[in-house]
Amino acid sequence: MQKRTLLNLSRKWRGRVRENAARSTARLRIPPADSRPPLRVSWVVEPLVAAWTLTLLLCATNLRAADTPPTGTNAPAWLRQPLALADCLDRALQQNGAILKGKSDLEAAYGVVVQTRAIAIPKLRANGSYSANDPGTVEKFPFAGFQPNLPDQKWSANIQVVQSIYEGGRISSALRTARLTKEQALLQYQTVIADTLLQVRVAYYDVLLAAQQIVVQEASVNLLRQELDDQNRRFEAGTVPRFNVLRAEVEVANARPRLIRAKNAHRISKNNLTNLLGYHVPAEIWEDIPLQLTGKLEAEPYEIELPLAMAQALEKRTELAALRKAESLRQEEILHAKAAAKPSLQLFAGYGSRSSSFSEDLTRELSGWFTGAQASWDLFDGFQTKGKVDQARALHRKAQFDLDDNVRRIELEVRTAYSYFIEARELLESQKKVQEQAEEALRLATARSEAGTGTQLDVLNAQTALTEARTTQIQALRDYAVARARLERAIGQNITPAPNR
């Protein structure tokens, strides 16, 4: 289609350029001053037209080549290999953007854990200094007969270990905070994984549904075309009026848009699944991604009662577990804020060297061990500690309110998902024999029409009913699979199936 469009465009431009060339030649022709022929604009324009036509043909050829999906060894591996649902979930775990960002957030949280535990770990510090003064500024001893040579340069270096012994409860609180932070980050990462895998499952089922809808709509169009051919034969034989042929043509025309929409839904659903899997579509593929799926829309039995589903959700949902960790972290922040009003005690020990204070020789040094203790206590800090405690308590109450609100939200989510699952299961049960009945009704309507006891309207109605039954059947299968996936996600169940090996 793109090549034909460009060819038509080239012909149109070539005709317009020739018309303009002819007009310009008529306007610009000047009587010659000698026997030489007049200059024609077409002599210059015709080569340009040829070059433009050649360019368009080359573009059309390239577009045709680009419109053909890569096959064989040129295609990416994920286009050559059929994908099952387990394969898609596995690839999403490795390449999905949301999961990769969640993994980065998890690694960043582990960095925070290391920082938080640092208060309980000894610190190794090294210090060094060097100074030089103007010799005229070195002070002399005010005692007669004793004038040591005070140096105008000096240096010192030492290394020491400092260990906090008491920080008002902040050491033990820091260790608990580090553990809670690590557990909360892991739970949040698991939440991202569960949400993403649910999206992949739904997108996978959407692709299967769209593919089945194409099959159903193509079958509908074929049935209507057969009816149109039959009515044409009867009209030519003089057994039916022209109205029957027109009616059949209208039905075929009305069925084609549904087929076009089904094909477009299939393309869009494959684009969505490819994006969730983290794949980059090759530049050679413009419209339809040749994605191959091996799964089928099947209704596997699944039984669970609502009370059990609610209990499992409150126990297994990672969002609630992460919020409980957040509440505990807010409690630790209260203890951390109160610790600022208490003293701090550290022990230290080390080894150092320095230059002599009574000799100008910098190589003369004094070395040795040293040890000691240091303490500090802010007796009054301008109510800064009180403000921090009040803030920490308010944030702790907010975390409790957030937990309670999310408990109610998850209970509502479980009830809603369970209701949709019951609806999908009942719809699926109601459609078990409808398709067989619709096929039998179409067969009988066709037989009656051929025998002269039925009408064309009966056949068209039976064909419409069969198409609707097939559409409802595959839609019910997709809705059941999606409703089950959402219910499993709502109760916190692992939705990653075992890979097929």
Q: Could you report the per-residue pLDDT of 266-324, keeping only the tens digit for each?
A: 999 999 999 999 888 877 777 788 888 888 888 888 888 999 999 999 999 999 999 99
The mean predicted confidence, pLDDT, of the chain is 80
Of 181 and 442, the one with more pLDDT: 181
- Cα gap 92→263, rounded to integer Å: 25
Residues 6 or more apart whose CB falls under 8 angstroms from that of 421 comprise 302, 480, 483, 484, 486, 487
Tokens 């479980």 belong to residue: 414
Of 473 and 56, the one with more pLDDT: 473
Residues 6 or more apart whose CB falls under 8 angstroms from that of 130 comprise 153, 154, 155
The CATH-assigned architecture of domain 85-131+150-490 is Up-down Bundle (1.20)
Strand order in the sheet with 344-355: 123-132, 153-166, 344-355, 365-376
Question: 474 near 215, Cβ under 8 Å?
Answer: no
The number of beta carbons lying within 10 Å of the beta carbon of residue 318 is 19
Buried b (16+ CB within 10 A) or exposed e, 173-183: bbeebbebbbb
Amino acid found at 36: R
In the chain, % of residues over pLDDT 70? 79
Question: Residue 173 in 3-state DSSP?
Answer: helix
Element (DSSP H or E) covering residue 378: none
Tokens 């089945």 belong to residue: 212
Verdict on whether the full-model pTM lies above 0.85: no
Question: Residue 352 in 3-state DSSP?
Answer: strand
What confidence score (pLDDT) does residue 398 get?
A: 94
Q: Can you read off the two tokens belonging to residue 275?
A: 């994006």
Domain boundaries along the sequence of the chain? 85-131+150-490
The number of beta carbons lying within 10 Å of the beta carbon of residue 56 is 20
Summarize pLDDT for 119-144 with one digit per residue, the tens. Answer: 888 999 999 998 887 766 656 655 55
Mean pLDDT in residue range 482-500: 76
Summarize pLDDT for 201-258 with one digit per residue, the tens. Answer: 999 999 999 998 888 888 888 888 888 888 888 888 888 888 888 888 898 898 899 8
Q: 72 — phi, psi (to 5°)?
A: 65, -140
